[in-house]
Amino acid sequence: MRWFAIALIVLGLSGCQPAQPNLLQNGSFEQGVEPWFALESEQWTGFSVTDRYAVDGRFSAYLALRADREDRGTRVFGLIQELSPKRFPKKLSGYYRIESWQRGSAKQYLQGVVIVWGDKAVSQYQNIQIRYILGGIAEPPFAMANGRFIFLGDREPTLGRWVRFERDLHSDFLQYWGHIPESFEKIRVLFEARYDDKEPGVELSADVYFDALYMGQ
């Protein structure tokens, strides 16, 4: 029995080891909105913090996707952070939750985006991107020479529960861009609910939440 007790102690200690540091500050939104931000653009709308749903702590990010009948074109509801780590991170993970989904455009979807600026290995582009489609569409919404799309969810998204996503960024960039970025200026990380190519005459809406967002090793 003595070896069993020792094993339990070892397992207990290993379970208490701190997790790898999160490059995304306030990834669970327990400290409010900052340092997350939205772009200053007519096509962009930011987010709020709510205690209505949460998977880690008390709060989550809430994106209230809305469009009136007369709205057209593209609108992005989202949150952003920019990072300048010494090493390219290996892991991206988090949770999203959709509580309502009234489709008003064939291109109405959720995504997480990783943009690498100043990658010297691909000097013909100012930045290179991988766009992780979490749900809402089943094919790329538009052509993008410096972007690659990876589909993680279904066209008709799951409603009413938290859905976890996790990606190996090293593996994805190696597969889709041919290398793991080593010499770069910064990384921009975005989480979005959006629509593209909306025609007037129909309304659309969705209530989307993100929580426990992580980027690191």
Mean pLDDT by runs of 10 across the 217 residues of the chain is 40 47 98 97 97 97 97 98 97 98 98 97 95 98 97 95 98 98 97 98 97 97
d(CA 179, CA 130): 13
| Rounded distance between C-alpha atoms, residue 62 and residue 53, angstroms | 9
Burial 154-178 (b: 16+ CB within 10 A, else e): eeebeeeebbebebebbebbeeebe
Beta-strand runs (E) in the chain: 44-45, 48-50, 60-67, 73-83, 91-102, 107-117, 127-135, 147-151, 162-168, 186-198, 204-216
Residue 37 has what DSSP assignment? B
pLDDT, residue 150, reads: 98
- pLDDT in the model for residue 10: 38
CATH no., domain 22-216: 2.60.120.260
pLDDT (0 to 100) of residue 16? 40
pLDDT for 20 equals 82
